[in-house]
Amino acid sequence: MKFVMRLILIHLIRFNMDNCVFCKIVEGQIPADRIYESDRLIAILDAHPVNPGHLLLLSKKHYQTIDEAEAEVLSEIGSALNELGKRLKTRLGVTGYNICYNNGQVAGQVVPHLHFHIIPRHPDDNLKLWVGKEYEEGEAAKILNLLK
């Protein structure tokens, strides 16, 4: 039974990779404006930017979410995000940017491939962030105990 489940899982992963738009970009099957590349990552201009200079940082290897990526990849992502953010500030003259990552469909992940958005921000761009809520009585303590 484990062998059959493993075969099904391998098939599903292969299916996702074969039909993944970001895998096709990594492989050069779909053109994209690449601005950064390493052995593990590429960064491209988003084809539908929130603001001009909106970048996508993609893993070259297909991981559906950050939970699947190795520590080395995650470390390189941190360095690349830092480098790309500095480029936005120095070369585009923006004073701030958002780094966005949606982990899973319920969190807004549309393409199931590990990727980060780096969005230049301007004082008058009218982009809104989420609205915070208050914890119910005792809720914060329960959450704290579960997460510690």
Catalytic, 113? Answer: no
* CB 80 within 8 Å of CB 74: no
Which of the following is catalytic: 48, 54, 115, 117? 115
Sheet holding 41-45, edge to edge: 34-37, 41-45, 55-59, 115-121, 96-100
> Mind telling me the catalytic residues?
115
